[in-house]
């Protein structure tokens, strides 16, 4: 027995009771099942012609017709409307029906339906639109409408105006347009023709005319077309995409394009409308085929630029344009390797490109290109080299680039910064000398040279640099600060030598340059200290008190008195009472500004080579840590942390790094500062901190934070945990296997010794959390393979 | 459009002065307060080719292929004498455009 025969048969609609069928029809309509609803209502009407069912049937028909029209089934939609009109004796939705007729090309039928429609409909906006549309179609060549449309004087006027416009008779055109009454369906042609006339003379006025059109006018697309005539090139093409071929012809005619331009633009629009879009290959083809229309020079430049992303076009480029030079070939190859994530191969090709460019060493263009390439290479190498490895390589590339382009300020400054950071001062000074020689008027270079001279104690030379700089740039605050520092330093030098009169003279000069209270305060404090060294305690107290007040009291002034006092050679015993006296009159707590002044001064002293800063900061750690509670931006916190890290002031460093990590967890620079502070500069780092540093390194690498990468790298290097850097890029890719082989050949005792060296006290911690069997396996894995037939350890397990 | 020369409407051989003048002309044409996006595009183009070094840098390392608008810029920009269309062209376009609006209304 068949399974289906067991089921209860669903009742057919015709078998349903009227109530049930009504309910079903309503549900079908509500559920947008219009076709089913139509059938149900037709059955119901067959039983009884109730008016509400007829209305419901009409709605179902119209809704279904709209549904079909939305799917571009216009003919089917029209047929449904016709059925509805017959079944329900209704003209509902006549405007939609007329639109569908027009859309499906049944113009004659549309004209007849319109003429049979009620006067009310003919006089409505929808009716006038259809009439205008049919009129325009008749003028446009749909002659079949001639018999279907009644003779229309307004249409004749519109046609005459159009003929007059095309013939260039603007007066006649205006006269015909004036004949169109206000309610004429062709009334909107007035601003259209007036705008067309204006496009030839003044594009802006055309826009004013077009604004007179209502947005729902049937002439809106034509108005948009006219408005697009003066669009900038990048918007023009998109606008043209929406044009029909007939509209494009008009657009081209109005723009005055010739046949070759039209052919090119049609080709491009065709490409743009294709599903695949415009591929690089197709674009290259357009450039090659239409280079004369586009313009030879422009086409060649575009094709060359295209080759950077489309190297396959090189073969086609040579015969069409001109043979690509060797440097260009190498350059394109290098860029391709960069795109393919092979920077090492790219670097090789860039070097070859430089060599090739140097075949014509006298060419200024080639020299500049070589310099730019070498700078690019230095940047590229940063991406795949460890910081310590990059330094010499990068400096070499940058230095070589300056041979070709010796006036690049940024490269000098970058090199100076790197060399200074790594304490290679002699090299730094050599590069600075070259920089000053080539760029004697460049403020940043002169300032860098002055700072370097100051740092090596050549105060007069530094002052000369800064004097020259201030003569050109008198409001350079950094230069002024440095000049004052130079005179103060020279004054201290004289005081140390017991030449107090000379010292005072220098301080007088410094005072003349001081422009604000802080600068004046620093001179006054030094003056007080010189007086103290000269034994003039009364004067000293006066100057120090004055200077303390001008310096804003508090942290920075304390620091200055202690550091400069010591540098002049004043004993603590002599200095302390003066400091206490100042402190009683100054503020006890630090505010935000004090912290910035203090850290700026710390860095300045560090830069000047002052060595005893840590102990001074340690003595001030309580108020410094308290001041960490203020609000700081991450950038401010970074500057503060850098200053404390620089002088190994771990307690305040920890407080500020903690604050930053609470604000923005995981930021690599602050993770580094936190680890350094926590370990108090000790070389040995715990496993958990090593893990944090490795994560921070990876994040810094992703974010391009090279400074933090370098710091972490140096910390690892100094902690001797080189082996822990396995995952860090920049190490040889085969490092694991090399070390693996080395470890394999070690005896257990040798291995234990090495492990103790690398992991120190953390060795136990390293193995402690492991379950015993695994620990045994780990230990076994570190032993050399024996002859027992067990498998040798996998090399990657060694790390 | 992504080609700075096309954006500023200058030739590849343009000097610093020419580029500067073109930039100022464009900024006057598209002031930042009226056309902020376009101004930014103009500003970026200017920064990209401002000096000889910038231009060479762009030529050597730019990996972004020119777009269609940049390729066609000289053609689209070419100011041919504007002409009046023939009756036939205008009427056909008119007829095509009125039918277009019907379709749009329906959709």
Is B97 near chain A, with CB under 8 Å?
yes
Does A218 sit within 8 Å of B98, measured CB to CB?
yes
Chain A contact probe: residue of B55, B56, B68, B81 with most A CBs at under 10 A: B68
Categorize the per-residue pLDDT at A287 as very low, low, confident or very high, splitting at 50, 70 and 90: very high
Q: Match 């060399």 to its residue by tokens.
A: A419
Does A254 sit within 8 Å of B82, measured CB to CB?
yes
Tell me which residue in A140, A308, A309 faces B95 most closely, judged by beta carbons.
A140
Q: Which chain A residue's Cα is nearest to B100?
A: A221
Chain A contact probe: residue of B90, B92, B107 with most A CBs at under 10 A: B90
pLDDT at position A64 is 93
Does B80 sit within 8 Å of A255, measured CB to CB?
yes
Look at residue A788 and tell me whether its pLDDT is greater than 50.
Answer: no
Would you list the DSSP string of A362-397? T-HHHHHHHHHHHHHHHHHHHHHS-HHHHHHHHHHH
Chain A contact probe: residue of B70, B76, B83, B105 with most A CBs at under 10 A: B76
Q: Which chain A residue's Cα is nearest to B88?
A: A140
- The lowest-confidence range among A380-384, A436-440, A446-450 is A380-384
Partners of residue A335 in chain B, C-beta under 8 Å: 61, 63
Residue A504 CA neighbour count, 13 Å, CB half: 11
Categorize the per-residue pLDDT at A612 as very low, low, confident or very high, splitting at 50, 70 and 90: confident
Is B8 near chain A, with CB under 8 Å?
no
Would you list the DSSP string of A718-751? HHT-GGGGTTSBTB-TTHHHHHHHHHHTS-HHHH
Per DSSP, A83 falls in state H
Tell me which residue in A163, A166, A287 faces B71 most closely, judged by beta carbons.
A287
Residue A615: CB atoms within 10 A of its CB come to 11
Report the pLDDT averaged over residues A517-529: 90
Look at residue A781 and tell me whether its pLDDT is greater than 70.
Answer: no
Q: Which domain covers residue B22, as residue numbers? A: 4-106
Digit-coded pLDDT (tens) for A547-591: 888 876 678 888 889 899 998 999 888 888 888 888 887 666 677
ipTM score for this prediction: 0.89
Partners of residue A313 in chain B, C-beta under 8 Å: none
Its sign, for the CA torsion A232, A233, A234, A235, is positive
Q: Match 């990657």 to its residue by tokens.
A: A796
Which stretches of chain B drop beneath a pLDDT of 50? 104-107
pLDDT at position A104 is 85
Look at residue A740 and tell me whether its pLDDT is greater than 60.
Answer: no
Look at residue A17 and tell me whether its pLDDT is greater than 80.
Answer: yes
Partners of residue A236 in chain B, C-beta under 8 Å: 76
Total count of domains within chain B: 1
Is residue A643 a contact partner of residue A603, using CB atoms and an 8 Å limit?
yes
Digit-coded pLDDT (tens) for A80-139: 999 998 888 888 889 889 989 888 888 888 888 988 888 888 888 888 888 888 888 888
Partners of residue B101 in chain A, C-beta under 8 Å: 217-221
Structure tokens of A32?
């947008």
Residue contacts between A and B (CB atoms, under 8 Å): 198
SS3 content of chain B, % helix, strand, coil (to 5): 70, 0, 30
Does B94 sit within 8 Å of A268, measured CB to CB?
no
Chain B contact probe: residue of A218, A220, A228 with most B CBs at under 10 A: A218
CA A69-A72-A74 angle, 5° bins: 55
Tell me which residue in A199, A331, A338 faces B82 most closely, judged by beta carbons.
A199
Mapped onto helix, strand or coil, the DSSP state of residue A108 is helix
> Residue A731 forms beta bridges with which residues?
A729
Return mean pLDDT, chain A: 83
Is B24 near chain A, with CB under 8 Å?
no
Per DSSP, B82 falls in state P
Is B37 near chain A, with CB under 8 Å?
no
CATH of the domain at B30: 1.10.287.110
Does A140 sit within 8 Å of B75, measured CB to CB?
no
CA distance B10 to chain A (A): 11
Task: Look at residues A608, A611, A643, A603 and name the one whose alpha carbon lies nearest to residue A624.
Answer: A643
Look at residue A16 and tell me whether its pLDDT is greater than 70.
Answer: yes
CB environment A45-72: b (16+ within 10 A), e (fewer): beeeeeeebbebbbbbbbbbbbbbbeee
Report the pLDDT averaged over residues A520-542: 91
> Residue B13 forms beta bridges with which residues?
none
Does A331 sit within 8 Å of B60, measured CB to CB?
yes
Is residue A613 a contact partner of residue A602, using CB atoms and an 8 Å limit?
yes
Q: Which chain A residue's Cα is nearest to B54?
A: A372
Look at residue A28 and tell me whether its pLDDT is greater than 80.
Answer: yes
Report the pLDDT averaged over residues A604-616: 82
Burial of A247 (0-12, 13-18, 19+ CB in 10 A): buried
pLDDT at position A413 is 96
Report the pLDDT averaged over residues A521-526: 92
CA distance A599 to chain B (A): 36
CA distance A28 to chain B (A): 24
CA distance B71 to chain A (A): 6
Of chain A, the percentage scoring pLDDT greater than 90 comes to: 33
In order of their start, the domains of chain A are 13-210 (1.25.40), 738-798 (no CATH)
Q: Match 């067991």 to its residue by tokens.
A: A6
Does A247 sit within 8 Å of B56, measured CB to CB?
no
Partners of residue B75 in chain A, C-beta under 8 Å: 261, 264-265, 293-294
Digit-coded pLDDT (tens) for B39-52: 999 999 999 999 99
pLDDT at position A202 is 66
What Å distances lie between residue A31 and A22, A28, A36, A769, CA to CA? 14, 5, 10, 64
The phi, psi pair for A181, rounded to 5°, reads -70, 170
pLDDT at position A723 is 39
Is B28 near chain A, with CB under 8 Å?
no
A424 vs A359: CA distance, rounded Å: 34
Q: Which chain B residue's Cα is nearest to A331?
A: B60
Q: Which chain B residue's Cα is nearest to A269?
A: B68
């Amino acid at each position: 027995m068949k399974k289906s025969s067991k089921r209860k048969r669903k009742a057919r609609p015709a078998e349903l009771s009227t109530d049930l069928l009504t309910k079903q029809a309503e549900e079908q309509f509500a559920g947008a099942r219009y076709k089913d609803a139509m059938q149900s209502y037709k059955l119901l009407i067959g039983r009884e012609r109730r008016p509400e069912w007829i209305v419901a049937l009409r709605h179902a028909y119209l809704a279904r017709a709209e549904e079909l029209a939305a799917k571009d089934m216009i003919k089917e939609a029209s047929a449904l409307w016709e059925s509805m009109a017959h079944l329900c004796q209704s003209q509902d939705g006549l405007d939609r029906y007329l639109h569908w007729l027009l859309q499906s090309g049944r113009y004659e039928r549309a004209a007849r339906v319109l003429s049979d429609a009620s006067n009310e409909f003919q006089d409505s906006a929808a009716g006038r639109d259809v009439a205008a549309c049919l009129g325009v179609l008749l003028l446009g060549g749909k002659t079949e409408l001639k018999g279907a449309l009644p003779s229309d004087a307004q249409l004749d006027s519109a046609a005459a105006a159009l003929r007059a416009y095309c013939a260039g008779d603007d007066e006649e055109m205006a006269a015909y347009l004036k004949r169109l009454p206000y309610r004429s369906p062709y009334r909107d042609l007035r601003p259209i023709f007036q705008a067309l006339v204006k496009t030839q003379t003044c594009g802006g006025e055309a826009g004013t005319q077009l604004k007179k059109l209502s947005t729902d006018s049937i002439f809106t697309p034509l108005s948009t077309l006219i408005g697009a005539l003066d669009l900038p090139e990048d918007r023009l093409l998109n606008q043209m995409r929406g044009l029909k071929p007939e509209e494009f012809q008009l657009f081209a005619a109005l723009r005055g394009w010739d046949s070759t331009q039209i052919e090119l633009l049609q080709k491009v629009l065709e490409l743009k409308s294709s599903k695949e879009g415009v591929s690089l290959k197709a674009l290259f083809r357009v450039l090659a085929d239409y280079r004369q229309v586009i313009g030879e020079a422009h086409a060649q430049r575009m094709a060359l630029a295209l080759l950077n992303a489309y190297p396959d076009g090189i073969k086609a480029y040579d015969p069409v344009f001109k043979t690509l030079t060797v440097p260009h070939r190498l350059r394109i190859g290098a860029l391709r390797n960069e795109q393919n994530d092979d920077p090492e191969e790219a670097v090789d090709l860039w070097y070859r490109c430089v060599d090739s460019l140097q075949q014509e060493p006298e060419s200024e263009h080639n020299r500049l290109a070589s310099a730019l390439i070498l700078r690019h290479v230095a940047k590229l190498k940063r991406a795949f080299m460890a910081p310590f490895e990059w330094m010499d390589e990068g400096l070499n590339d940058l230095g070589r680039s300056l041979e070709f382009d010796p006036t690049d300020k940024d490269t000098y400054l970058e090199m100076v910064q790197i060399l200074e950071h790594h304490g290679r001062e002699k090299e730094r000074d050599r590069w600075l000398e070259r920089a000053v020689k080539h760029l004697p008027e460049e403020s940043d270079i002169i300032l860098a040279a002055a700072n370097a001279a100051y740092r090596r104690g050549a105060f007069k030379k530094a002052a000369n640099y800064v004097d020259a700089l201030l003569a050109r740039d008198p409001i350079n605050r950094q230069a002024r600060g440095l000049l004052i520092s130079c005179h103060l330093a020279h004054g201290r030098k004289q005081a140390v030598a017991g030449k107090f009169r000379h010292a005072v003279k220098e301080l007088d000069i410094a005072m003349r340059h001081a422009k604000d209270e802080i600068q004046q305060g620093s001179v006054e404090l030094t003056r007080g200290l010189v007086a103290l060294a000269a034994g003039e305690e009364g004067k000293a107290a006066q100057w120090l008190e004055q200077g303390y007040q001008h310096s804003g009291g508090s942290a920075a002034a304390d620091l200055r008195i202690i550091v400069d006092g010591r540098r002049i050679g004043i004993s603590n015993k002599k200095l302390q009472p003066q400091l206490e006296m100042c402190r009683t009159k100054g503020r006890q707590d630090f505010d935000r500004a004090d912290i910035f002044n203090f850290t700026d001064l710390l860095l300045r002293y560090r830069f000047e080579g002052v060595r005893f800063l840590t102990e001074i900061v340690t003595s001030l750690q309580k108020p410094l840590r308290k001041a960490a509670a203020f609000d700081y931006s991450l950038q401010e916190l970074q500057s503060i942390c850098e200053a404390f890290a620089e002088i190994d002031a771990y307690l305040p460093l920890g407080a500020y790094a903690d604050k930053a990590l609470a604000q923005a967890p995981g930021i690599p620079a602050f993770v580094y500062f936190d680890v350094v502070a926590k370990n108090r500069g000790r070389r040995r780092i715990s496993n958990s901190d090593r893990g944090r540093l490795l994560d921070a390194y990876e994040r810094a690498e992703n974010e391009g934070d090279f400074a933090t990468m370098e710091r972490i790298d140096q910390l690892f290097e100094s902690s001797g945990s080189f082996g822990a850097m396995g995952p860090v890029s920049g190490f040889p890719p085969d490092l694991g296997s090399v070390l693996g082989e080395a470890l394999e050949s070690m005896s257990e005792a040798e291995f234990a010794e090495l492990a103790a060296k690398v992991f120190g006290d953390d060795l136990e911690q390293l193995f402690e959390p492991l379950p015993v069997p695994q620990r045994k396996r780990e230990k076994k894995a570190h032993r050399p393979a024996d002859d027992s037939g067990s498998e040798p350890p996998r090399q990657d397990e060694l790390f | 459009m992504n080609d700075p020369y096309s954006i500023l409407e200058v030739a590849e051989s343009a000097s610093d002065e020419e580029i500067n003048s073109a930039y100022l002309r464009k900024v006057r044409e598209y002031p930042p307060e009226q056309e902020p996006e376009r101004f930014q595009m103009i500003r970026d183009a200017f920064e990209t080719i401002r000096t000889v070094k910038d231009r060479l840098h762009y030529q050597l390392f730019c990996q972004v292929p020119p777009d269609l608008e940049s390729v066609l810029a000289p053609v689209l920009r070419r100011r041919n004498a504007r002409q009046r269309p023939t009756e036939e062209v205008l009427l056909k376009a008119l007829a095509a455009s009125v039918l277009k609006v019907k379709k749009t209304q329906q959709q």
